[in-house]
Structure 1
């Protein structure tokens, strides 16, 4: 399907089949200053799956996130999005295929909350899907429980409220790949669970979700697959129940931990081992 936008013709993305590779890193190395932040990373994100990136501070999670989003170029290796090298897409084309939630959401002007969420619809301007703008915005705000302050200035919100509005913007964009960098960092317990339930719902609907998390319990409970980063490499990649072990997590985090199955769900529970 072809449509006009800004004087250029763009193809609208098809809905991917379950298991389709939406983003892929192969042999990715990123060097910042004099330090190799990522070294030889191989990773795939697939439709219908929640992939969590975990690891200690400085392990390279956000750098890998930036490379997968095509916001940070790889020094060596390759990143593909929707089957094409990331650099072959224009910014407008990328915005139809992946949406990105950065760690911090800052705006210079006092936009109303609804206006901020509506910014997520900008990539669809001039396409036949522009008619979905109102519905997409309303659904995203309802999902993130932000509709009640739709008319408030974004700058007047608390940190947690801003985080939920930023997520609503990403959801309103309605791309097949969602990339979320620490979306639960500023949230209370209720809204942490809400965000991860939304991730699961998007994956169940056929989207691919890549989410950077510090909370290993959330990753174990909600992710289909987890990649554990350690010193710029992937120490393990697989189902949480398979790779969350006392030995591996204790070594990666340099903190003795114990892992045991949750008595009801069976998902791994990770606790620091404490004296006494």
Structure 2
């Protein structure tokens, strides 16, 4: 047994997650305040994420998106307020238990040793060691690699990959974890056009399967096309939250980003398209 699996299995039996009920609140932040270096980064943020939906966190640099995602994951402690997952407080719950309930994709994927791609993806199965679901490891890993189109270089060292390839392998690891809550921090940042669309389609597929998905995005077009709801952060506060067609308003986006914009409708889908206003 690998050292990583041992870390999760030595703690004894754990209650497995109950399959999510579509529409049920899977993750909730209430009056969340987080200070880093003595400075408030989040100030009174409240957000609910339901099973079966994709929620996009958007906003300018420094708005608090990544901090909110880390707080939702339990990786950054709150100074006040709190986070609940499955209706229970996140604080104080052991890491092995949380790993069965939420999977986290950080902005940067780095490893200290030259693991092969398949080994990296298989790390996502570590929380299931010693459970009745352990027998699914091979099939789940294969499915995750196929979904993210990394099967073709399964044997290559992770540190020999391009930035975009690493990003897809890291996402495959998260998918292999099979947690009902997915927290993804800028999963499209290093990707080309095809793979940006692939990643957001995966998010929608996981939501259709009943997962709750929270994804940090800079591309407002992707947020509009794939998210059920968009949460706009500004200065550590929630400036707006709701369906993309309601939230992606030219006045609001122009004020939050300090950049005049026009919001057009996609000619085929009607999805909002946010375009910077440029002088001729």
Question: How far apart in 1 are the matches of 2:152 and 2:14?
Answer: 36
Is 1:248 matched with 2:271? no
Match of 2:100 among 96, 103, 117: 96
TM-score, scaled relative to structure 2: 0.96
> For residue 110 of structure 1, what is the aligned residue in structure 2?
114
TM-score, scaled relative to structure 1: 0.98
Match of 1:182 among 186, 198, 219: 186
Q: What secondary structure, in the 3-state scheme, does the structure 2 residue paired with 1:242 have?
A: helix
Q: What secondary structure, in the 3-state scheme, does the structure 2 residue paired with 1:271 have?
A: strand
> For residue 12 of structure 1, what is the aligned residue in structure 2?
16
Deviating above 4 A after TM superposition, structure 1's stretches of 4 or more consecutive aligned residues are none
Runs of 5+ consecutive residues of structure 1 not aligned to the other structure: none
> For residue 24 of structure 1, what is the aligned residue in structure 2?
28
Question: How far apart in 1 are the matches of 2:207 and 2:13?
Answer: 29
Q: Deviations over 1:48-105 (max 9, x none)?
A: 0000000000000000000001110100001111111111321000000000000000
Question: How far apart in 2 are the matches of 1:184 and 1:171?
Answer: 15
How many corresponding residue pairs?
A: 273
Correspondences of 1:104-183 after superposition (within 5 Å): 104-183=108-187
Displacement, 1:141? 0.2
> For residue 49 of structure 1, what is the aligned residue in structure 2?
53
Question: How far apart in 2 are the matches of 1:180 and 1:170?
Answer: 9
Match of 1:83 among 80, 83, 87: 87
Q: Deviations over 1:9-42 (max 9, x none)?
A: 3111110100111111100001111311110000
Match of 1:70 among 62, 67, 74: 74
Question: How far apart in 2 are the matches of 1:264 and 1:242?
Answer: 18
